[in-house]
Each structure stands twice: as C-alpha cells, then as structure tokens.
Structure 1
Amino acid sequence: MNEFEITIRSAYIQGILGVLGALIGAAVVIFSLRSTAKNTVKQIKIDKIAESKRDQYIDLTDTYTQFLVSSLLLKHKKQDSDNHQPDIEWDTHLSKYIRLIGCINKVNLITTSSIRLELYELEKVLITYQTPVSNHFFNNFPLDSSKTLEQKVFDFAKLLRNDLSIESHQSLEAKLSQLRLKHKL
C-alpha cells in the first residue's frame, strides 16, 4: 500500500466515524428535546392544576361567606296571610346554599383524599346548620349559633392553605383561633 491509499482509507474511516458521531449527537439532541418537552408539558399540567385548585378554593371561600351572610340576614317569614308574594330573601339564601354545595362538589373533583374527607365533614356540619335556618325561617324556631360551622370552616381553610403550600406559622394560627373565640363570646 502506498501513501495515497493509506490517506484515502484514513479519510474514509474518519468520514464514517464523523457521520456516526453526528448520528449519535443527533440522537442525543432528539432525546434531550423530547425529554424536555415531556417535562415542560408535565409542569404546565401541574401548574394548571395548582391554579385551578387555588381558584376553586377561593370561590368556595367566597361562596361560603356569601351563604353565611345571607343566613344571618335572613328575616323571619312574615305571618301576613294576605302577603302571597314570593320571598326573595329566602330564594336568595337558598340559591347561595345550592351554589355552596356546588362549589363543594367542584373542590371534591380537584383535591386530595384528606381534603375530600374534611370537606365531607364540613358538608355535614353545613347541612346541620342549614336545617335550623330553614326551621327558623319557615316555623319561627330559634336560630342556633353558627359557631360550630364557622370553626369547622376556619380549620378547613387552614387545610386548604396547607394544600396550596401557603406558609403559615403555628403560633400565629393559635393566636388567630384565640381571637376568633374571644370575639364569639
């Protein structure tokens, strides 16, 4: 073999190895792009779920507040037998109650099992609260205090903040609970 043939073979081997290196590099780039795309899509889904949770939790809190205010402002049913007009106050209150139950169901769809369990307990307390409100409105029965419901909602709100990874301090939470109890008495 002469020098020329050795140079040609060397160039040929170098060319094959260059093409092979380029193919390996291209495969690594494709794998890296694909992996990045999957991770990006996964992160977008996680962010959307977190945003949806936040929005549903805020809506639940707002709906609960509207329901509670509505139940506190609900007046006695008028005893006038001549007055056959539909009672707008009761209709408004009932629509807020139905909306609150709907919000509870929405939160049940997007949350963890432990929160769903607490939400179920909250819903039981809510129904227990709503029954005397209905009796108060329709039959003029005495209205029970909403302390139990409010405390349950306050505890549930702490759980939701924890689920959203919102930082809270135990000592401040304890002080808030004490302040709430002090103002209830």
Structure 2
Amino acid sequence: VDGVFCYDHLFPPGEPARASLSPFPLLARVSSLEPRLVVGPLVARIGHGSPAHLVAQVRALRDLAPGRVIAALGVGDEQARREMSAFGLTIPSKDQRLRDLGSVARALDVPVWIGGRSPTLVDLADELGAALNLWGASLDEVAGAVADREVTWSGVAPDPLDEWLDSLAERGVTWAVVISKETPEHLGAWCARR
C-alpha cells in the first residue's frame, strides 16, 4: 500500500443518517502514524466550502506530510448535489465550480488529480498538467484516456483484484486507488511481484 485517500462527503455514500468526518484531520493523523504513505482527499469537492479554505487545508496537510500529498479535486456529481440539498446548502454554478477548480489547482504546489470524464474536465486537467482520475472507469475508457495524459483509476475493484490491477498497469495507469475486500498484505504481495 503506497497511499491512503479519504472521500469528501457530508455523509457516507448511501447512508444519509450517518455523519462523515472531514478528510483532512483523518489524513493528517494517518500521515503522522505512517510516515511513508502518500495521503490525500479523493476527491476534495469544489463548492463544498470556499476555495481559499480548501487551499489552506491542502497546504496544512502538505506541511505535515511534505512530499507525500496528492490533491485529487473534483466539481461534484449528482451525489454531491443530493448531499448539499439534504443540508439545505446551495452549490455554485458549474461554471463557477470549474473556475474555482482551476484556481485551487493552480494555487497548490502538490501533485493534482482532476476527477471526472467530461471533455471540459479532461481539457482542464491537460491545461494544468494534472493527472486525470477516472472513478470506476472501464478498461476501454482508461485505454482511451491514457494515450494523451497521466491517468489514475479509483473505485470498487472487481474480482479478481490481481487481474484488474494487472490490466490497469498494462494500460499505463500510474495509481489505482481501490476499494477492495483484499487485505493490505495481499495488495503488498501484488506490488512486490510487479
């Protein structure tokens, strides 16, 4: 295991009766307990708070874990809209979130991944020189995207995990952030044989 990433949700996906913790204190704690791991939000959502606050949180984490922070950023999806609506919060327009995403990414001095598939987000990732993070993408989607840029993959990994990770690696994916029932030892064994 090379890194630990935390989601940025107001409640766990599909469980609106439960609260979620902010990802940044959790990542700070993980970084202090495991000084070799890369840490980061996946994804920190633009529109969930002010852009300046998000930049400050990433920078604070960077100061605690120098050289070990990746900022995966996104503009939110339908799930994000449902969460914000459940709390009576408004979401800035998509155009505003895209502008803010670019501003936040440019303000950071850590590696940035842009989460999403839309042509606008792909173009923004390319403009920024950021990796494109594809949540739950098929192998065909990955192959189509990786030819022109760095691509990372995240999502619930299908079984068998080893074959899936091999397929992603063969297509040039630089990071795979997986939700899996496999143990860290199993993942470590896969990494050792690669």
TM bracket (short chain)? under 0.3
TM-score normalized by the length of structure 1: 0.25
Q: Report which of the two structures shows the higher radius of gyration computed on alpha carbons.
A: 1
Q: Which has the higher helix share?
A: 1
TM-score normalized by the length of structure 2: 0.24
Greater relative CO, 1 or 2 (CA 8 Å, sep 6+): 1
Q: Which has the higher strand share?
A: 2
